[in-house]
Structure 1
Amino acid sequence: MEMAQLEYFSKVVQEKSFSKAADRVYRTQPAVSIAIRRLEEEIGLPLLDRTQKTPILTEAGQVVYDYAQRILALRDEVGQAIVELQSLKRGRVRVGANESTSLYLLPELILSFREQHPEVKVEIYRHVSNRLPREVLDRNVDFALMASEPADRDLEAFPVLKDELILILSPKHPLASRPSVKIKDLGKESFIAHNVPSGSRLKVVEAFARQHVPLNINLELATIETIKRFVQKRVGLAFVPRMCVRDELERGVLVTVPVRGLTHNRVLWAAHRRAASFSPAAAAFLKVLRNHTESARES
């Protein structure tokens, strides 16, 4: 059973004439008649009563006609849906990210994307960093934003943002007015850390160890937002990515002091499957990511 057969059959029923139906579908009348004959042979029952001047539906013909209308309507809906996808009137993009990227980088990217494509749905999936490459490879997300370049050769990645790890403290803390501090100045301080291990935390641990200074992590919390709040309350100090505290630093509710001997610049990467076939929506989001990269380089 072919789509063309159903279309020719439907047109004959609607036009009540083989010749008029042929004109509507831009075929000859014999071609339309042959197509309908083959459809009847495939079904095993006559669909039209041809004994009258005007073709009349048989009982089987009525059943086939009803289904043909639904099938042809679905075909038209598919075509319209594809047009909408291509014109970005619909579609979705799935992005995986860790906590800090979800909260402090993605909002800016999504706003930029939605200004251009407001009808495309963006879905954000939060995962720990070491899980993100697998999420991309398993096709659970179109892109992942991660704090290190993925090692898997089946992934392609490019840098999106350069950031640095900084020491944050309450403006009321005794060290807040210092132009800088040494690691040894922090040996008696209490620190707050994220309870998910990360490469940044390892860098801090190594820096303190090289100076033979104890790193007193007395409290581990689940989110950076909570860490920032506890630092404001002078519960302790913390090392966090600068992008996570831009707003607090501007408002003066937190301050940062450079730590001599501890510098950790990090790069955030966008990754996708190598040679992936992107949907129109995903391709548009990729363009936004690359534009953001270019803007970051120029600033």
Structure 2
Amino acid sequence: MDSQLEVFVTVAELENFSRAAERLHMTQPAVSQYIKVLEKSMDARLFDRSNKYVRLTQAGEIVYHHAKEIIGLYTSMHALIDDLTNKASGTISIGASYTYGEYVLPEVLKRLKEEAPEITPSVTIGNTKEICKLISDYRLDIGIVEGEVKDENITVEPFETDELYVVSSPDSLTSREGNFSPEELEEETWIVREEGSGTRRISEKFFSSAGILPVSRLEFGSTQLIKEAVEAGLGIALLSRWTFKKEVIAGDLAIVNVEGLPVQREFSLISRSLFRSKALEIFVEKVKRGGK
């Protein structure tokens, strides 16, 4: 791989020549020389520099985007060639949205470690929008998200259906017999995820299809915080069945029977590369088997 690109990407991400030199085990003058040679070959200034900051120029942003793709493709190529003669091993970079990443992925990784200890997973957790961006930039080998993926450059492979229910604290809405209509819940405080989350997108679709506009909302960037808020009686939430199993069994949360629910959505594997290493294939198999 071109060392100039590796040095350039490191400087761009750390926004500091000294820290980049430390990360790369190089001297700062050597790092500066690499950048100087790259800028000369591009016939463009790639960084704006001062005593206070190092920032990418517009040309630098273009080079950074493509450099990340080149590095990602090189790494993938190296892994695939290595697969021809060696057993599955090495690092695979995985991205997962919060629901899957926090509540399902740990069990998958446990089984992976038991059956293929030579494989080292590196995991990034974010909302669906963030994971799609990292996949698009070749910064992850594979992602697991819920909901729609609109980037036409990303390959989407649905593998499991998820179900979402309305949950509340045990001593509130569930005391009533029979089903609630969505209209009856319009006056409740709905606790929702942040914009960009797959769960938030499904919640908005549910509100739209049910023809309701919640009067009051609270927004949190974590499903765990939402569950704690619901337990405290601050409102109700539409959540994946994967996220509240333990709380329902323990009696800390309760499912509210609502007409038209559960809402169904799909978990999908997403990627950009046309090829998968042996290590990645083994991981995908584990995902499709649900860690079993």
Query: Normalising by the residue count of structure 1, what TM-score does the alignment of the two structures yield?
Result: 0.62
The within-5 A match list for 1:143-222 is 143-197=142-196, 198-208=200-210, 210=211, 213-222=212-221
The within-5 A match list for 1:98-117 is 98-117=97-116
Structure 1 equivalent of residue 249 of structure 2: 250
Distance 1:286 1:224, change over 3 A: same
Structure 1 equivalent of residue 125 of structure 2: 126
Tell me how far apart the structure 1 counterparts of residues 168 and 221 of structure 2 sit (CA, whole Å): 18
Tell me how far apart the structure 2 counterparts of residues 271 and 186 of structure 1 sit (CA, whole Å): 35
Structure 2 equivalent of residue 264 of structure 1: 263
Shift of 1:87: 2.4
Q: Deviations over 1:77-100 (max 9, x none)?
A: xxxxx59x9223x41111111211
Shift of 1:228: 0.4
Confirm or deny: 8 A CA contact 2:190 2:217 kept in the other structure.
yes
Structure 1 equivalent of residue 288 of structure 2: 290
Q: Taking every aligned residue pair, what percent have the same amino acid on both sides?
A: 21
What secondary structure is seen at the aligned counterpart in 1 of 2:290? helix
**2:86 maps to amino acid:** Q
Tell me how far apart the structure 1 counterparts of residues 226 and 132 of structure 2 sit (CA, whole Å): 27
**2:205 maps to amino acid:** K
Q: Which structure has the greater CA radius of gyration?
A: 1
**2:285 maps to amino acid:** K
Distance 1:134 1:242, change over 3 A: same
Tell me how far apart the structure 2 counterparts of residues 199 and 249 of structure 1 sit (CA, whole Å): 24
Q: Deviations over 1:161-202 (max 9, x none)?
A: 211121001111143443321112213222211223532121
Structure 2 equivalent of residue 3 of structure 1: none
Tell me how far apart the structure 2 counterparts of residues 188 and 138 of structure 1 sit (CA, whole Å): 42
Tell me how far apart the structure 1 counterparts of residues 217 and 151 of structure 2 sit (CA, whole Å): 36
Tell me how far apart the structure 1 counterparts of residues 108 and 173 of structure 2 sit (CA, whole Å): 38
Confirm or deny: 8 A CA contact 1:178 1:257 kept in the other structure.
no
Q: Deviations over 1:102-148 (max 9, x none)?
A: 10121121112111112321111123212323322322111111113
The within-5 A match list for 1:45-124 is 86-88=86-88, 90-124=89-123
Confirm or deny: 8 A CA contact 1:144 1:271 kept in the other structure.
yes
Structure 2 equivalent of residue 279 of structure 1: 277
In structure 1, list runs of 5 or more residues that go unmatched.
1-81
**1:86 maps to amino acid:** N
Distance 1:222 1:92, change over 3 A: same
Distance 1:116 1:202, change over 3 A: same
**2:214 maps to amino acid:** L
Tell me how far apart the structure 2 counterparts of residues 107 and 206 of structure 1 sit (CA, whole Å): 33
What secondary structure is seen at the aligned counterpart in 1 of 2:93? strand
Query: How many corresponding residue pairs?
Result: 209
Distance 1:137 1:196, change over 3 A: closer
Tell me how far apart the structure 2 counterparts of residues 243 and 266 of structure 1 sit (CA, whole Å): 12
**1:288 maps to amino acid:** K
1:234 lines up with 2:252 in the alignment: no
RMSD: 2.7
Confirm or deny: 8 A CA contact 1:92 1:122 kept in the other structure.
yes
Q: Deviations over 1:7-42 (max 9, x none)?
A: xxxxxxxxxxxxxxxxxxxxxxxxxxxxxxxxxxxx
